[in-house]
Structure 1
Amino acid sequence: MRLALSILLLACASMPIVAAPAMKPGSTRAAPQPPATPRHTASSTLHGVTVNDPYRWLENPEDPAVLAWIKAQNAYTDQVLAAMPDGKAMNARVQQLAITSTTRSSPMLAGGTLFYMQETPPQPQPQLIAQPWPDGQPRVLVDLNANGGNTAIVAYWPSPSGRYLAYGTAVGGSEMTTIHVLDVASGKVLPDAMPWAGGGATPQGLAWDADEKGFTYVRLPPPPAGHEVKPFHAALLHHTLGEPATQDTVVFGKDFSKIAEYRLLTSPGAKRLAVLANVGDGGPAEVYLREGKHWTKVLGDAANVRTAAWVGNRLLVASFANAPRGKLLAVDDHGNTTEVLGERKGAVQSIEPIADGFLLVRSWGPDWWVEQYADNGQFVRRLPLPAHGIGIGGIAAEHGQDRALISYSGWTSPSRWVEYDARAGTLKTVFEVKAAADYSKVHTYRIDGTSKDGTKIPVTVLAMQGVDPDGHRPTILYSYGGFDLPVVPHFVGAEMAWLERGGVLAFANIRGGNEDGQSWHAQGQELDKQNVFDDFHAAALALFDTHWTDRQHLGILGASNGGLLMGASLVQHPGDYRAVVSLVGIYDMLRHETNFSNGAYNIPEYGSIANAAQFKATLAYSPLQNVKAHTAYPAVLMTTGANDPRVAPWQSRKFTAALQRASNSGQPILLLTRMNAGHGFGAPFSQRVGNTAIMLTFFAQELGLPAK
């Protein structure tokens, strides 16, 4: 379910553009009508309540009638989008802004070698690079661009000395991973290949042995011949280099959970291994340590562990039990814990070793920062990074090394890497992306909304210098609201095409994320999920109250769990939003738990409708069941990918059909299905750019963005 904002936009191709007359926001148009969708009798009875489900037939992707329906809906969507007059200019400008200088991401240090991903737009996919640190010559290790970008590198793991590199690939947005192994010095790919190595609901994971002769990795059970792999019952297997994957043996997790997720953490030199094991997504982890072949459970889920790191030979875990912002515990082999650092200002996001101590990444609302501590938990300093408007990316660091590489970006600043000296406390820029435009005139503003229960909701507003609140600025409001994932300041990039024409962007830090710690997350889970939708509505009202925009000029945007946010928002307050773009979303929460895609993994976040109280709460907000006939719904553009392993594509099909039948506003209800795409991970560059252009064109048409 997790989907970061940087890859929020689902891959799709650029659309054809023809001229058509512009429409005023809020007006109806003589537009083509959507294809009719048959309704069939189907229902479920839950806790004594009968719920009709006339579009259940759309759940079967193998049904020829469903395939014909998808084709007809795509044709209708293409026809409506192609008639929007701003498309050609918007597409051209988005492409210009997307062609930055080379970008880098995901840095890792191993044995004195820096590994990272590098992409030079319009290159379809990033390359995997190795560079002797700090002053060596970069060298391309893996480049998958020859096939047009349909195969992506989804994860990588260098061995302790940097001699070998394991990396995972996936095809067509499916995320189903095959692990390969490369000899770094020669660049030769070894014969070893491990299929079914996680992906989608089951995160990939790998930990090298200390002698570098093999590794432990996440794998799903191999499917019977002629069948697709099922995304359940993941376990940890051990692979020996040079041996066939069919001989790999289960070493942990055989009976742990049907919806197991694992994070593997190795100590320096890979001498010790810790596993953070989750039952489903969004909940706390259990912590296990391996000594030889023996595994010991050292912490249960009562400790509410969310992240951890080895600092030398000590495992430091961030525990949120009775500490909503997080405290640090050192764990010994027997599960005994010693508090190293108590709760302080700011929610703990991650831990990284450095010198003889560690770095902590913290957040509070939209503000992010990094602190340095000595080994005993004594505060050393806050790093001299910008105080506001940035998000912290990857940190490459090793215990005992005085220097770390820290990546960050901000609303108006593309990605930058700085070298931090832990002794001197200084930062030195070593890499920065050169943007394709001048972002210095983009201003940020902070406003607060007040949710239904009185909770203050931070909202960051972005607009060009001279674009002041006039009560009707075309505005796009984004949020996510779930799974412990924060809304993080990020470089707006190609969305400058919206700002430079007088549009406004807004980002809300609503509950369900962890910006303010685990209490902020918990208040948006399970029985309290309605808080998320109330928070988002409060953010919209704050934009009205501060005169940035009005109901005829506000569009809303979300993806994945944020798609659920979009669905609930538009059915609960249809008159408060003029346009909605909802990507790879969940809309039928009563059917989400079935064995489609990863619904079972989301029970820790959403609760289960097997519980009567949770069923009642879920039915009250589930978008599909709350569509009302003869209602003036806003204009809607939904997207989905046929290969999505995280959210079943039928979720979008059913919700689209229901809205098309019910809406009497005259505004378009559109669904775009891409047959060679997934949840958005690993999309080629051209597809990412094309989808940004479509999204901004749709909002420009519906919200009345001034012509360039």
Structure 2
Amino acid sequence: MNYPKAAKGNQTDTYFGTAIADPYRGLENDSEPTKKWVDQEVAYSQRYLSQIPFRDEIKNQLTDIWNYEKISAPFKEGDYTYYYKNDGLQAQSVLYRTHSKTKATEVFLDPNKFSEKGTTSLSQLSFNKKGNLAAYSISEGGSDWNKIIIIDAITKKQIDENIVDVKFSGISWKGDEGFFYSSYDKPKEGTVLSGMTDKHKVFYHKLGTKQSADQLIFGGDETPRRYLGAGVSEDQRYLIISAANATNGNELYIKDLKNGGDFIQINKGFDVNANIVDTEGDNLFIFTDKDAPNMRLVKTTIKNPSPETWKDVIPESENVLAVSTGGGYFFATYMVDAIDQVKQYDKSGKLIREISLPGKGNISGFGGKETEKELYFSFSNYITPGTTFKFNADTGKSEVYQKPKVKFNPEDYVSEQVFYTSKDGTKVPMMINYKKGIKLDGKNPTMLYSYGGFNISLQPSFSVVNAIWMQNGGIYAVPNIRGGGEYGKKWHDAGTKLQKKNVFNDFIAAGEYLQSKGYTSKEFMALSGRSNGGLLVGATMTMRPDLAKVAFPGVGVLDMLRYNKFTAGAGWSYDYGTAEDSKEMFEYLKSYSPVHNVKAGTCYPSTMIITSDHDDRVVPAHSFKFGAELQEKQKCANPILLRIEKNAGHGAGRATDQVISENADLISFALYEMGIKQLAK
């Protein structure tokens, strides 16, 4: 394989007396040599992929199944009911609205008109309480840096200048005068993909004034925090600030906007997670893992909100809890082995009913304003397309609101849950999904996908991409490995810092289980994951290059010694630790860091590294350096490709054709490298 050559340097860094070479450091810079190398890698990958005989056929299959009408659950603002709709293959979904009296329907926002190729997406949308004003943020080319546009919601006309350079922000209105938002100081030009963003700031923008005059409310040099979220309570009485330095654990502050006074700090330090989910007069309802690893809902009062006063409304149980509010009720979603169950409670914590669900799967929704009695929820699993239901909060009756017309018959497929044993004896659940009638002869193309980090749970959900994989004879398997949130804080913490290798061992054990039971074999297995899941794949393929035939590390965190030097990376230290923490932590990170564990003379799987040139979350330098190392040291003929998407970011907001093209390449590359010559008819 005659790969493009990346320039090598003699950069070394010293950690606790150990010198670490970083020959591809130059790929961290957005320099002309890097851009030239990227262009060469793009061309190389496209040449290789173009020889796959069924690549176009897979793309046509994906395009065909994708082409169905998608309509979101509606929501009410002022005199209008709003909903998102995509006709099928539109680059971005369009926001429509219907007037409550005239019943006239019109387009409210069409993100397809934000840019020529549909690569500018709608990120956030927020209305004031009356519904006559709106502010929305847009992301250009997938960047985390957004701009906010302010409009009169009745006329749809812009009424203020844009707010620019906004990152990791909500938009929360205070009456009709203005709103709160969050941002960082923008890195210097040329360092957007490398400059650190570590001092978040909450601003208040008053309508009709310049952004330069926006009032700093919290953060910056006075109270330096890496992540800040600001929200006004539904009754408009309170301003609530969540402040954190990592992706786990936060401080909670509240200010009484009605009665005045300074911020009150509710909980101190970063050892627990706590968020206010509802207010009722002086009462505050807080969702927290304090003294409750599986979460609980507590009640306190603005007069004395310290943790000592917290009283259970919905106590902790043996299953992980999530809480939403709507119609004057609390909806408790319990995760039981990654499957959802839902119960409805009143504000005192009295059980109203257990809600009957359409089957075993994943539920989202049951949220709405205090006065709305018609709520919505969606249900899906790996073989059931997402269906939206309308739910009456008082009677408990539900009915189908929107069932998508996908060219897929769930009756033809199986979704089964198994439990397997990891290296240290831990039992781990896994969902295995496939077309009925397959033989357990070890020859089924199998996609093993997981994440394993940041308390994120992988629950059953339908994907047309997985549908096409299964239609072509593939098995789609998802283990709920440690590092996720499926079994609460203990499960998450068991996959962090000096226990991070539990995550990789769980993933490896899942692959070995599938092979030992005849679902597949090494020659027919692909490993897949994105972001932290990209690290999962990178670490697994360097620890066990013999486990699978194909690997897809997507937008991955792959340089574990330097991840905290880029953009918002330092905030991931709760999960990873950093190379500067201690000699032990440095040596542990070095022992699995994918960039530092590529060894010459080793045969690695056929690999497609997936990244984007505008990814300012997990910067593409991770993928560039890992790819350069693999291309240099690969022993066998298995190809190492870098699939680099232009004008795209970490993943959110991509145009439909970008998503289809990437997944067509992924599926066709996997099948081709497994030795499949043509698709089964």
Give runs of aligned pairs for residues 416-455 of structure 1, distance below 5 A. Answer: 416-455=387-426
CA distance, structure 1, for counterparts of residue 95 and residue 12 of structure 2: 50
The aligned residue for residue 367 of structure 1 is 339
CA distance, structure 2, for counterparts of residue 187 and residue 379 of structure 1: 43
Q: Is the 8 A contact 1:560 1:584 kept in 2?
A: yes
CA distance, structure 2, for counterparts of residue 135 and residue 380 of structure 1: 36
Task: Label 1:118 to 1:136 Cα distance change in 2 as closer, same or farther (>3 A).
Answer: same
The aligned residue for residue 185 of structure 2 is 221
Of 610, 621, 624, which aligns to 1:650?
621
RMSD value over aligned CA atoms?
A: 2.2
Give runs of aligned pairs for residues 105-254 of structure 1, distance below 5 A. Answer: 108-111=75-78, 113-131=80-98, 136=103, 138-146=105-113, 147-198=116-167, 203-209=168-174, 211-221=175-185, 231-254=197-220
The aligned residue for residue 339 of structure 1 is 312
Matched residue type, 1:84: I
CA distance, structure 1, for counterparts of residue 579 and residue 241 of structure 2: 30
CA distance, structure 2, for counterparts of residue 225 and residue 472 of structure 1: 51
Matched residue type, 2:636: S
Q: Is the 8 A contact 1:318 1:326 kept in 2?
A: yes
**Aligned-pair distance for 1:89?**
1.0
Task: Label 1:571 to 1:144 Cα distance change in 2 as closer, same or farther (>3 A).
Answer: same
Q: Is the 8 A contact 2:529 2:537 kept in 1?
A: yes
**Aligned-pair distance for 1:257?**
5.9
Task: Label 1:497 to 1:69 Cα distance change in 2 as closer, same or farther (>3 A).
Answer: same
Q: Is the 8 A contact 2:252 2:274 kept in 1?
A: no
The aligned residue for residue 604 of structure 1 is 574
Q: Which has the higher mean CA deviation after the structures are superposed, 311-320 or 491-500?
A: 311-320
The aligned residue for residue 268 of structure 1 is 234
Q: Is the 8 A contact 1:220 1:230 kept in 2?
A: no
CA distance, structure 2, for counterparts of residue 538 and residue 247 of structure 1: 56
Task: Label 1:133 to 1:220 Cα distance change in 2 as closer, same or farther (>3 A).
Answer: farther
**Aligned-pair distance for 1:236?**
0.9
Q: Is the 8 A contact 1:420 1:428 kept in 2?
A: yes
**Aligned-pair distance for 1:408?**
3.0
Deviation digits for residues 88-112 of structure 1, max 9, x if unmatched?
111111111111113326x644457
The aligned residue for residue 320 of structure 1 is 289
Matched residue type, 1:287: L
Give runs of aligned pairs for residues 448-467 of structure 1, distance below 5 A. Answer: 448-467=419-438
CA distance, structure 2, for counterparts of residue 346 and residue 140 of structure 1: 42
Task: Label 1:79 to 1:443 Cα distance change in 2 as closer, same or farther (>3 A).
Answer: same
Tell me the number of residue pairs that the alignment of Structure 1 and Structure 2 aligns.
666
| TM-score (normalised: structure 1) | 0.90
**Aligned-pair distance for 1:166?**
1.2
CA distance, structure 2, for counterparts of residue 132 and residue 468 of structure 1: 55
CA distance, structure 2, for counterparts of residue 90 and residue 222 of structure 1: 41
Give the match's secondary structure for 1:91.
helix
Give runs of aligned pairs for residues 256-655 of structure 1, distance below 5 A. Answer: 260-281=226-247, 283-292=248-257, 294-301=262-269, 304-305=272-273, 307-313=275-281, 314-333=283-302, 334-336=304-306, 337-349=310-322, 351-388=323-360, 390-594=361-565, 596-612=566-582, 613-655=584-626
CA distance, structure 1, for counterparts of residue 187 and residue 121 of structure 2: 23
Give the match's secondary structure for 2:522.
coil
**Aligned-pair distance for 1:355?**
3.5
Task: Label 1:382 to 1:469 Cα distance change in 2 as closer, same or farther (>3 A).
Answer: farther
CA distance, structure 2, for counterparts of residue 395 and residue 264 of structure 1: 23
The aligned residue for residue 69 of structure 2 is 101
CA distance, structure 2, for counterparts of residue 256 and residue 410 of structure 1: 46
**Aligned-pair distance for 1:225?**
8.7
Matched residue type, 2:578: S
Structure 1 stretches of at least 4 aligned residues deviating more than 6 Å after TM superposition? 223-227
**Aligned-pair distance for 1:131?**
4.0
**Aligned-pair distance for 1:449?**
2.2
**Aligned-pair distance for 1:608?**
1.9
Task: Label 1:256 to 1:660 Cα distance change in 2 as closer, same or farther (>3 A).
Answer: farther
CA distance, structure 2, for counterparts of residue 215 and residue 90 of structure 1: 46
Of 30, 35, 45, which aligns to 1:61?
30
CA distance, structure 1, for counterparts of residue 613 and residue 357 of structure 2: 42
Pick 1 or 2: higher relative contact order, CA cutoff 8 A, min separation 6.
1
Matched residue type, 2:525: L
Deviation digits for residues 480-535 of structure 1, max 9, x if unmatched?
11112111211121332221121111111111111111111111111211111111
The aligned residue for residue 17 of structure 1 is none
Q: Is the 8 A contact 2:332 2:344 kept in 1?
A: yes
**Aligned-pair distance for 1:394?**
3.7
Task: Label 1:465 to 1:650 Cα distance change in 2 as closer, same or farther (>3 A).
Answer: same
**Aligned-pair distance for 1:160?**
1.3
The aligned residue for residue 90 of structure 1 is 58
Give the match's secondary structure for 1:552.
helix
**Aligned-pair distance for 1:227?**
8.2
1:73 aligns with 2:38: no
CA distance, structure 2, for counterparts of residue 667 and residue 618 of structure 1: 27
Q: Is the 8 A contact 2:532 2:556 kept in 1?
A: yes
Give the match's secondary structure for 1:231.
coil
The percent of aligned pairs where both chains have the same amino acid is 27
Deviation digits for residues 514-568 of structure 1, max 9, x if unmatched?
1111111111111211111111111111211221111111101111111000100
Deviation digits for residues 270-310 of structure 1, max 9, x if unmatched?
222222222132x1121111113621111134662254411
Unaligned runs of 5+ in 1: 1-31
Task: Label 1:584 to 1:393 Cα distance change in 2 as closer, same or farther (>3 A).
Answer: same
Task: Label 1:524 to 1:133 Cα distance change in 2 as closer, same or farther (>3 A).
Answer: farther
**Aligned-pair distance for 1:666?**
0.9
CA distance, structure 1, for counterparts of residue 180 and residue 16 of structure 2: 44
Give the match's secondary structure for 1:495.
helix
Matched residue type, 1:252: F
Matched residue type, 1:295: F
Q: Is the 8 A contact 1:303 1:320 kept in 2?
A: no
Q: Is the 8 A contact 1:303 1:319 kept in 2?
A: no
Give the match's secondary structure for 2:159.
strand
Q: Is the 8 A contact 2:598 2:633 kept in 1?
A: yes
**Aligned-pair distance for 1:343?**
0.9
Q: Is the 8 A contact 2:358 2:379 kept in 1?
A: no
Deviation digits for residues 399-421 of structure 1, max 9, x if unmatched?
24333222332222222221212
Unaligned runs of 5+ in 2: none
Q: Is the 8 A contact 1:633 1:663 kept in 2?
A: yes
CA distance, structure 2, for counterparts of residue 566 and residue 658 of structure 1: 15
Matched residue type, 1:205: G
Q: Is the 8 A contact 1:260 1:279 kept in 2?
A: yes
Matched residue type, 1:348: L
